[in-house]
Amino acid sequence: MAIDIEISEVGPRDGLQSIRSIMPTEAKKAWIKAQHEAGTPEIEVGSFVPPQLLPQLADTAEVVRYATTLPGLRVAALVPNRRGLEGAIAAGAQKVSIPFSMSETHSVRNVKKTHAQMREEIVRCLELLAETPAERRPAFEVGLATAFGCTIEGPIPEDRVIRMAADLVDLGVAEVGLSDTTGVGNPRQLERLARGIWSACGRERLTGVHLHNTRGQGLANALKAVELGFTTIDSSLGGIGGCPAAPGASGNIVTEDLVFLLEAMGLRTGIDLEALFAVRELVQAALPDEELYGFAAAAGLPLGFTGAAA
C-alpha cells in the first residue's frame, strides 16, 4: 500500500530517555515488533550515548540488532558524535540522526560542544560515512534542534537556522530535519523556517519534522507540515518524551492521535489504529509507573470509521 505521510516512531528513544523507568530489553523488543506489525515504517529504537548518561538506553546496540531482523522496518538511531556513529554502523542502523542545536547554550548542555565544535564533529561523521562501504552506510540526517526556540536562550533567530542549514548542506549533509525540541513553535513559524531552508538548500534537503506538544501545538504544527508538503513526521506512542537537557521541554506528539488525524483526513499512513491501540496497552504494562497521553485511544474509533486505506 502506498503511504502519503510516513510516521517515524521515536518513543523507544525520545520517549524512554525522558522518563525514570528503565524498560527491560525484551519489553523494548516486544514494543518494536508489535508496532512494526501495526504498520509503522520507521522506528527510532535508541541512542548511542554513554550508558552512565542515559541508562534507559544502555542496550541500544542489542535493540538495533534485533530490530534489523524485522522485514521492511527502517531502523533509526540517534548519535551525539562520531563515536556514537561508529556504534550505530557496527550494530546495523539504517538511518542515523545527529542533533545540532541552534541554541549554543543548549548544545553545550546537551552534547557538551559549542557550535564550532559540533560542526567539526559533523565533518568527522561525514568522513566516517565516506569510508563506510555503501551496503553498511546508513542514511544520515542532522536534526536542527531548538530551531523554534530554547528554554534557556529564548527565541532563536530564524536567519540563524536557515544559514546553519545551508552551511551543513555545503559540508555535504544530505538532509536536515526541523526540530521543535522545546515545544514553542507555531504553524506560521514552521512555514517561515521551512520555506527559508527550502529556498537556501532545496526541498529535497528537508522532508521531515520533529514536533513536541509541550504547549498543545503539536497537531496544529503537524497539520501545517502536511499542508506544506513534508512527508515524514516524528511522534511518540503515548506522547512520552522530551529533552532532559532543556528544562520544561516535555511531550512529543501522540502517535495514536496523529495517525487518527491523518487517516481521518484521507491520508494513508499504513498504520492500523486498532493494532496501534494494542501496542499502547503493551507499553503501558511494561511502564506501569508512567503516564501515557492522548485522546484517540481513550475515546476509541468513531462508529463507521474505516481509515484512509479503505
Would you name the residues annotated as active-site residues? Answer: 243
CA distances from 167 to 82, 115, 128, 130, 218 (A): 19, 12, 19, 19, 28
CA atoms within 13 A on the CB side of 205: 24
H helix or E strand, kind and range, residue 106? helix 104-111
Beta bridge partners of 9: 43, 235
State which amino acid sits at residue 224. Answer: K
Closest CA to 308 of 273, 275, 277, 264: 264
| 102: nearest Cα among 27, 203, 177 | 177
Which cell numbers hold the place of 144? 536542527
Query: In 10 A of CB 278, how many CB atoms?
Result: 16
Cell of 163: 544559514
C-alpha distances in Å from residue 46, one per residue of 9, 71, 79, 80 = 11, 19, 9, 12
Q: Is 241 exposed, middle or buried (0-12, 13-18, 19+ CB in 10 A)?
A: buried
